[in-house]
Structure 1
Amino acid sequence: MVTTNGAGTAAVPAQPSYASGTSDVPLLGETIGADLDRTVARFPDRDALVEYATGRRWTYREFVADVDALALGLLDAGLGKGDRIGIWAPNRAEWTLIQYASAKIGAILVNINPSYRVHELEFVLNQSGIRMLVSAQRFKTSDYVAMVEQVRPQCPALEQVVFLDDPAWESLLRQDGDRQRLIGVQAELSADEAINIQYTSGTTGFPKGATLSHHNILNNGFFVGELCGYTEVDRVAIVPPFYHCFGMVMGNLACTSHGSAMVIPSEGFDPAAALSAVAAERCTSLYGVPTMFIAELGLPDFDGYDLSSLRTGIMAGSPCPAEVMKQVIDRMGMSEVAICYGMTETSPVSTQTRADDSLERRVSTVGRVGPHLEVKIVDPSTGLTVPVGEPGELCTRGYSVMLGYWQQPDKTAEVVDTARWMHTGDLAEMDSSGYVSITGRIKDMIIRGGENLYPREIEEFLYTHPDILDAQVIGVPDARYGEELMAWVRLREGAEELTAEALREFCSDRLAHHKIPRYVHVVDEFPMTVTGKVRKVEMREQAKKLLGLDAG
């Protein structure tokens, strides 16, 4: 059907919400190990890895020596291409060593969430068929040794367990074998082979193992680093956990593909340690999810940290509040800070803001599509691309899309279509310049009395309240409207208790009536994943109990 304008001539078709990332820089066509060797040859004496808490540090020459020794140790232990090696530990230097050593022999590294309990650990060990588990002995209140011993009889594929700081680990790391043997092994590897399994945090049932190749994660780390302007002089404070793409890809691989230094501030997130590491190591870049930056900015002695070395950084993992972004730029001096959007299944980054983007672009969008990638926004019901400015589901395609969920082709087919588009489940809009704004999850969208409400819009408004430090909006069951709005808020220190009536009064005349939360719940902390994402599913379940809505 051809539409016409008033004069009877064919109208110009609406611009579709589609963008592809052009680049003069080609994709990397090599393995992670080969890329590391290339970097070592260029920058052998520059810092590669710094563990701030212990003072341990490696130049690139020293780092690859330990990586190669560990790789030979893994080969001597009977591991090789395609075998699964699990890593269950917080952020420490050994995590990084095993990441690169496993890549050098073509083994598949299986990242295990440090917060997993026994039943989750058992599931991952069995579902991925892990032959060797490398584990910390404990982290926070978790006794990993006891937990491993508890599940080991139920995990027939698990042949070897090596605990960090044990003689077995030292033996594995101190192999002085034939480097030519390792070179021969590396020569037999393909960049398109699986190298990593990362389990997505499922909200129902058990998580799924996103399977990623050298090509997936090496290129994603490289191009994230390119857009951050990384060179061998950069030093990146990697605060997010390594078990997640934010830490091991956007952090480690972005650094090693550019000769930059990986700086580990602490095993788990500690806002004071993060800023201390930046100051002591003169970091040029700082990573974190918004809640991490909020905690750092909220330190009573924040002004006592010398952050003058910071140039850039990345905020990602969940929507970045505009007010927080402005403070990161103004108070931390991160003038080139980037917003990244992505998901584990896409290695992870699909869109990113650039250093020359305006403040408005960086606080209101997640940037433009990355190099060599495509994004489009489709109508979830029809699958057709919507015109610019209209909401829909964000889809992405290109080198970054996972090989699939480990041994779950049916689950893979639910999210990756026959044209290899990854359906993210996120609601988004694209403007005429290709900038993407994330408006929420399809499953988080609230339908109140037939009106589609997007929590992000309301949350951004709540941040303007002088007493609110952080805010999350969810939908709860309602007999009249189907769903009602509930705001969970964290208050600034010293603020008086905030009632629903007081918040509604604040919103009155500033926010449309149907967007004003009916319920308010003040909390000290939100339910969170280890990666800093708010668990709205858990919040909704708690809310139903708090409000006596279980029957709804």
Structure 2
Amino acid sequence: FLSNITHDDLLLQGTTGNPKAAVLSHHNFVNNIIAYDYRADLTTDMVLCVPLPFFHVYGLSVTLGRPLVPGLRAVVPSPSYDVAAILKAIQEQRCTDMSGSPTMFVDIIKSPLLQHYDVSSLRRAEAGGNVVTPSVRKLIREKLNIPVRVGYGTTELTTAATVVCEDDPELKQLHTVGRALPLLEIKIADPMTGREQPVDTPGEVWARGHNVFLGYYNDEQKTRECITEAGWYKTGDVGVMDGDGYVTIVSRLKDLVIRGGENIFPFEVEEVLNTHPAIHESLVIGVPDDRMGEELCAWIVLKDGLSVTDEELRDHCQGKLTRFKIPRYFIYDKNVPRTPIGKAQKAKMRPLAAQRLGLTK
């Protein structure tokens, strides 16, 4: 079987939202792992704990790709996500690295089981699959006493397109997703014109290189919409690039809230709310409004045993955000619609929030 595989054999990956199959080749996967290896220095003595699901491109690449290409060892703790199994695997297999979503790392650190296991073999954490906030990066470093690598990518980009590592400057480690992997190109483009944006100016993240998928299966129109004639893949993510080439992801284009003609990136508001001592996580979405078109709603997940009022949160935002960026509505609920790797599903949250607030017609 292996002798018959060519670099164009296909792997089909499902994505969240409306079902579509992103066609990826062995060439995509193998070369993307090699490019990541150049940047992240994967070594054969690494023992990688991987609690990620195989059906997600991140889990597939880490669990199957890295053992086959650079030759390191991957440990799958359990058939499904289980914090106790992860801790047991790290202790018994002496795992040196762990790849996971930010939610997984937070769950492990906050679990009372952590104190009963020896995780001193861990040398680094690799977080991705969702936005990894500076507060989560600090939490991992402080509680597990290991550096954090953060990558950025999509299924269509065969997992990683950028990565920030422990040898990068401190502020870059905390606030960015790093620079493009070797032999890949990243640019920040005006989504309307495709022109490259100036340094530190928000725009859509475009990528080009060997990691760009071949297209959507049986959907030429959708493929043409997101891959330009010059080979650039339009990610749908909003980001900025600094003068050193480091990228910061700001939001999704589809999550952009337009209130009275003003563009508001939810991530900017979430960063401020997340600094409140009572908040575990905040998720900002747009809800319908007859006058403004959209209003801001903050879905708040509180820390255990703590509480806060709407007015206290508005006061917290004063002076840190422009007035029109302060949420009008707040919902307090730990039950957030999520994907299997813990990413909040804002497309599902918006109608739920509108219904709760009595804004549906």
TM-score (norm 1): 0.63
Contact 1:350 1:370 in 2 (8 A): yes
**Partner of residue 118, structure 2:** 306
**Partner of residue 90, structure 2:** 278
2:37 is equivalent to residue 201 of structure 1: no
**Partner of residue 248, structure 1:** 60
2:221 is equivalent to residue 410 of structure 1: yes
2:284 is equivalent to residue 448 of structure 1: no
Deviation at 1:350, TM superposition (A): 0.9
The AA in structure 2 aligned to 1:282 is R
C-alpha change, 1:511 and 1:305, in structure 2 (3 Å) is farther
Contact 1:194 1:211 in 2 (8 A): no
C-alpha change, 1:338 and 1:522, in structure 2 (3 Å) is same
Deviation at 1:223, TM superposition (A): 2.8
Deviation at 1:300, TM superposition (A): 2.1
C-alpha change, 1:510 and 1:389, in structure 2 (3 Å) is closer
Deviation at 1:238, TM superposition (A): 0.7
The AA in structure 1 aligned to 2:354 is K
Partners of 1:373 and 1:509 lie apart in 2 by 40
**Partner of residue 500, structure 1:** 310
**Partner of residue 280, structure 2:** 469
Larger Rg: 1
Q: For 1:362-400, what per-residue CA distance to the aligned partner results, in whole angstroms no more than 9, with x for missing partners?
A: 221110001110111111111111111111111001100
TM-score (norm 2): 0.96
**Correspondences of 1:478-497 after superposition (within 5 Å):** 478-496=289-307
Contact 1:198 1:243 in 2 (8 A): yes
Deviation at 1:301, TM superposition (A): 3.4
Contact 1:427 1:440 in 2 (8 A): yes
Q: For 1:48-89, what per-residue CA distance to the aligned partner results, in whole angstroms no more than 9, with x for missing partners?
A: xxxxxxxxxxxxxxxxxxxxxxx5xxxxxxxxxxxxxxxxxx
Deviation at 1:359, TM superposition (A): 3.1
Q: 1:518 aligns with which of 315, 328, 335?
A: 328
Point out where structure 2 has 5 or more consecutive residues left out of the alignment.
Answer: none
Say which SS state the counterpart of residue 112 (structure 2) adopts.
coil
Partners of 1:303 and 1:359 lie apart in 2 by 28
Partners of 1:273 and 1:411 lie apart in 2 by 40
Partners of 2:99 and 2:335 lie apart in 1 by 21
The AA in structure 2 aligned to 1:330 is E
Partners of 2:325 and 2:184 lie apart in 1 by 36
Contact 2:35 2:183 in 1 (8 A): no
Contact 2:270 2:284 in 1 (8 A): yes
Deviation at 1:294, TM superposition (A): 1.6
**Partner of residue 152, structure 1:** none
2:353 is equivalent to residue 535 of structure 1: no
Contact 2:125 2:146 in 1 (8 A): yes
The AA in structure 2 aligned to 1:402 is F
Partners of 2:170 and 2:92 lie apart in 1 by 28
The AA in structure 1 aligned to 2:183 is H
Determine what percentage of the aligned residue pairs are the same residue. Answer: 40
Q: 1:324 aligns with which of 129, 136, 149?
A: 136
Say which SS state the counterpart of residue 517 (structure 1) adopts.
coil
**Partner of residue 40, structure 2:** 228
Say which SS state the counterpart of residue 542 (structure 1) adopts.
helix
Contact 2:39 2:182 in 1 (8 A): no
**Correspondences of 1:97-116 after superposition (within 5 Å):** 104=2
Say which SS state the counterpart of residue 383 (structure 1) adopts.
coil
Partners of 2:77 and 2:221 lie apart in 1 by 40
Contact 2:84 2:113 in 1 (8 A): no
Deviation at 1:409, TM superposition (A): 1.5
C-alpha change, 1:301 and 1:359, in structure 2 (3 Å) is farther
Deviation at 1:427, TM superposition (A): 0.6
2:268 is equivalent to residue 457 of structure 1: yes
Q: For 1:463-485, what per-residue CA distance to the aligned partner results, in whole angstroms no more than 9, with x for missing partners?
A: 21111111111111122322111
Contact 1:236 1:255 in 2 (8 A): no
Partners of 2:123 and 2:244 lie apart in 1 by 26
2:157 is equivalent to residue 346 of structure 1: yes
2:146 is equivalent to residue 334 of structure 1: yes
Q: For 1:142-196, what per-residue CA distance to the aligned partner results, in whole angstroms no more than 9, with x for missing partners?
A: xxxxxxxxxxxxxxxxxxxxxxxxxxxxxxxxxxxxxxxxxxxx1x4421x1231
2:46 is equivalent to residue 214 of structure 1: no
2:351 is equivalent to residue 546 of structure 1: no
Contact 1:504 1:516 in 2 (8 A): yes
